[in-house]
Amino acid sequence: MNSAIELSHVSWRADRSFALKELSLRVPMGSIYGFLGPNGSGKTTTIRAFMGMLRPDSGEIRLLGMSVPGDMPRILARVGYVPERPHVYPALTVAEQLRYHASFFPMWDGGWAGELVDRLGLDPTRKIARMSKGETGKLLMLLALAQRPDLLVLDEPTDGLDPVVRRDVLTAVLDYVGETGATVFISSHLVHELERICDWVGVMDRGRLVTELPMTHFKNGIKRIRLSGPPQLPLDPPFTVLSRKHANGSGPSETWVVQGWRDPMRQYFEGVGVTLRDVVDLDLEESFVELLRSSRPDSSERS
């Protein structure tokens, strides 16, 4: 079993305004997989599909080698889930919420839960209704980690949290992964946050998976190149051209954004009589934006 999460040609339509369309993705076992996309792109809908909370119209889903939804009881015993919206009871104290949550999970580690309470600076006697958003975020992560899951599914786990709390939450995740080798699937629109921790990335937009690749390829393979005397149309380039723009200055020149770039590809331009003037690295956010722009049709298509 090489994939912790596997979706094959999954489609689901909410209404005329949004649908998942033939979605296929693979999350390698033991990876930290960043699921990027703008708000409304389908990230949470995708998570709800593979967590068994909605039934797709077509396609197949497997988690940890088991079928969704048929094997969901066994799957959920091995998955720690932090949803986009809190799922705790405001009337309970932290200690009461821990005892309640523990009753559902046979692998619950009470000793480690206690350590996490101290490490994350939570007060066991404090009612959840009186906790800040940051404290609630820490509690949600604690509940997921103390299950000792093989797979952590985190839907915008640090959205709206201050930098200190975000650091504490993500450090707890990384420490757990380092200790256990668990797989993490983390959805976010905070591009730079995922850049630091993920080794795989998938990009969603309008219900479609735009790309899925190792983070190193995502960071290093998208470039902005400047050319003199470019051809009218690219002649079988060894890379993907995401965009082309005419550049200001004397003589015909263009700026291209390309995906799949490797340095030996400079020789391609010599073969087609084009002068490659410059190759510029893009940061992760610029690469993300360029991918979204290139994936969207010129017309105002509705998903």
Note whether 77 and 183 are same-domain residues.
yes
Q: Are residues 59 and 111 in the same domain?
A: yes
Instruction: Determine the Cα–Cα distance for residues 21 and 208; give it in Å rounded to an integer.
Output: 6
Q: What is the tally of structural domains in the chain?
A: 2
Dist. CA 224–CA 4, nearest whole Å: 34
Assess whether 149 and 86 both reside in one domain.
Answer: yes
Residue 97, domain member (yes or no) = yes
CA distance 297 to 303: 11
List, in sequence order, the alpha helices (H) in the chain. 43-50, 72-76, 94-102, 110-119, 133-145, 163-180, 191-197, 215-220, 266-271, 284-295
| pLDDT attached to residue 299 | 38
Task: Report the Cα–Cα distance between both ends of the chain, in Å, rounded.
Answer: 33
DSSP string, 217-259: HHHHSEEEEEEES--SS--S-SSEEEEEEEPSSSSSEEEEEEE
User: Looking at residues 239-257, what average pLDDT do you find?
Assistant: 81
In a domain, residue 235? The reply is yes
Decide: helix, strand or coil at residue 68.
strand
Segment 62-79 shows an average pLDDT of 95
Q: Are residues 175 and 276 in the same domain?
A: no
Confidence of residue 297 (pLDDT cuts 50, 70, 90): low
- 177-197 pLDDT per residue, tens: 999 999 999 998 778 888 889
204 CB burial (10 A radius; 0-12, 13-18, 19+) = buried
Taking the model in full, what pTM does it have?
0.88
* Percent residues over pLDDT 70 in the chain: 95
Residues linked to residue 60 through DSSP beta bridges, in sequence order: 8
- What residue type is assigned to position 125 of the chain? T
Query: And the tokens for 41?
Result: 């792109």
What is the band of 269 on the pLDDT scale with cuts at 50, 70, 90?
A: confident
Residue at 238 is within a domain: yes
Which domain range does residue 257 map to?
221-295
Per-residue pLDDT reduced to its tens digit, 273-294: 888 999 999 888 888 888 888 8
Q: Which residue has the tokens 């991918």?
A: 291
Name the domain boundary from 156, 181, 212: 212
When the pLDDT of each residue in the chain is averaged and rounded to a whole number, the result is 90
The 222-228 sheet, strands edge to edge: 240-246, 253-259, 222-228, 275-281
Q: Do 229 and 208 share a structural domain?
A: no
Q: What is the pLDDT of residues 129-163, one digit of tens each?
A: 999 999 999 999 999 999 999 999 999 988 888 88
Residue 300 lies in a domain: no
Please report, rounded to a whole number, the percentage of residues in the chain having pLDDT higher than 90. 63
Burial class (CB in 10 A: 0-12, 13-18, 19+), 149: buried
What's the rounded Cα separation, in Å, for the pair 294 and 242?
A: 5
Residue 122 sits in the same domain as residue 36: yes
Place of tokens 């080698």: 65
CATH of the domain at 160: 3.40.50.300
CATH code of 235's domain: 3.30.70
Question: In terms of domains, do 175 and 281 share one?
Answer: no
Give the pLDDT confidence score for residue 300 in this predicted structure. Answer: 40
Judge whether 301 lies within some domain.
Answer: no
Same domain, 185 and 242: no
Give per-residue pLDDT as tens, 90-136: 999 999 999 999 999 989 999 999 999 999 999 999 999 999 999 99
